[in-house]
Amino acid sequence: MYISQDVLRLNVGFIIHQTVGYSRDFPFEIPSLRLPPDLDLIDFTGVVRVTRTAQGLFVQAKLQAMAASECVRCLTEFQQPLEVEFSDLYAFTLSSITEAGLLLPENGKIDLAPIVRDEMLLAFPIKPLCRPDCKGLCPICGENRNEINCHPGDESLQAGPGELSSVFE
């Protein structure tokens, strides 16, 4: 069962009243986390540190998780490890807003779910592999070549120009 993204809504209102430099760590150890609409994470762990500054609350996060993925070579489903680090300033006033454009809500609660979701999606590799030496699918029969050796030494599988070589003559 997945835990709601509400666990990433942090009540930081008490930090506003602390002196500049005060910080508080929020550790996470969540077995399964759903970030709607399309991201399910397992073994979500890490720490979010919130530090009081003169301009606002500075949030630093270092998070890890696993997400379901599919290998681009052999089409096997596997758990892709993801690691992200990010930092943002939640400004007290409009004049202190950084380019991220984050303003501290009046209720003193910041919702990290949208940022965590975006950062985790950006951490996905463009071409996920189940393992670095994945052999992929057999071009003849479509079997997973990591599991069986279906056509060893087949000459038609050797790379080369074949009939295209006559085009360049």
Long-range contact set of residues 121-124: C-beta below 8 Å, sequence gap at least 24: 121/39, 122/84, 123/82, 123/83, 123/84, 124/67, 124/69, 124/80, 124/82
The pTM of this model reads 0.80
- State the first-to-last Cα distance of the chain, in angstroms, to the nearest integer: 63
Q: How far is residue 106's CA from residue 146's CA, in Å, rounded to a whole number? A: 55
* Domain locations in the chain as residue ranges: 5-134, 135-169
Q: How far is residue 45's CA from residue 30's CA, in Å, rounded to a whole number? A: 6
Q: Is the pLDDT of residue 159 over 60?
A: no
Which has the minimum average pLDDT: 18-22, 124-128, 161-165?
161-165
- What pLDDT, in 10s, does the model give residues 105-117? 889 999 999 999 9
User: What is the share, in percent, of the chain residues with pLDDT greater than 90?
Assistant: 69
CB 41 within 8 A of CB 96: no
- What pLDDT, in 10s, does the model give residues 60-96? 999 999 999 999 999 999 999 999 999 999 998 876 6
